[in-house]
Amino acid sequence: MNEAFASAPGKFVILGEHAVVYGKPAIAIAIDRRFYMSVKKSNEFMINNEAADIRQNPHLRYILGNYDMMPVSVNMDSRIPTGSGLGSSAALSVAFSAAMRALNNRSLNVADIAKEAFEAEYFSQGRGSPMDTSASAHGYGIALNMSKEKEDILWNISKNEHAWNVSRIDVPKMTFVIGCTGIRAATGPLVEKVRKYKDSNRFASDIIEEISGITVEGLKCIRSNDVVNLGKLMTKNHKLLSILGVSSDELNKLVNASLPYAYGAKLTGAGGGGCMVALTDQPDKVCEAISSRGGAPFIVKTGVEGVRTSEKSEQK
Q: Is 9 in the site for ligand MEV (CB under 6 A)?
A: no
Q: Which stretch in 74-82, 126-134, 178-186, 294-302 sits in contact with ligand MEV by CB under 6 A? A: 126-134
Task: Give start and end residues of each alpha helix (H) in the chain.
Answer: 58-64, 88-103, 110-125, 131-138, 187-200, 202-223, 227-243, 249-258, 283-292
Q: Which stretch in 15-23, 145-153, 177-185, 223-231 sits in contact with ligand MEV by CB under 6 A? A: 15-23
Q: Is 119 in the site for ligand MEV (CB under 6 A)?
A: no
Q: Is 132 in the site for ligand MEV (CB under 6 A)?
A: yes
The strand pairing partners of 41, in sequence order, are 72
What radius of gyration, in Å, describes the C-alpha atoms of the chain?
A: 19
Catalytic residue among 32, 53, 77, 132: 132
Q: How far is the CB of 278 from ligand MEV (least distance, A)?
A: 17
Alpha-carbon 125 to chain mean position: 14
132 is an active site residue: yes
Q: Is 17 in the site for ligand MEV (CB under 6 A)?
A: yes
Q: Is 191 in the site for ligand MEV (CB under 6 A)?
A: yes
Q: Is 269 in the site for ligand MEV (CB under 6 A)?
A: yes
Out of 124, 187, 235, 280, the only residue in the binding site for ligand MEV (CB under 6 A) is: 187
Q: Which stretch in 14-22, 65-73, 161-169, 222-230 sits in contact with ligand MEV by CB under 6 A? A: 14-22
Give every CB contact of residue 163 below 8 A, 6+ residues apart in sequence. Answer: 23, 156, 157
Q: Measure Cα distances from 271 to 19, 31, 43, 144, 291 in Å.
A: 13, 18, 40, 19, 19
Out of 270, 279, 304, 307, the only residue in the binding site for ligand MEV (CB under 6 A) is: 270
Sheet arrangement for strand 264-268: 264-268, 275-279, 176-180, 296-300
Q: Is 85 in the site for ligand MEV (CB under 6 A)?
A: yes
Q: How far is the CB of 212 from ligand MEV (least distance, A)?
A: 12
- What is the distance in angstroms between the CA of the first residue and the CA of the last residue of the chain? 21
CA distance 6 to 97: 9
Give every CB contact of residue 189 below 8 A, 6+ residues apart in sequence. Answer: 272
Q: Is 74 in the site for ligand MEV (CB under 6 A)?
A: no
Out of 98, 131, 185, 233, the only residue in the binding site for ligand MEV (CB under 6 A) is: 131
Active site positions, annotated: 132
> What residues line the site for ligand MEV (CB under 6 A)?
13, 17-18, 20-21, 85, 128-129, 131-132, 187, 191, 269-270
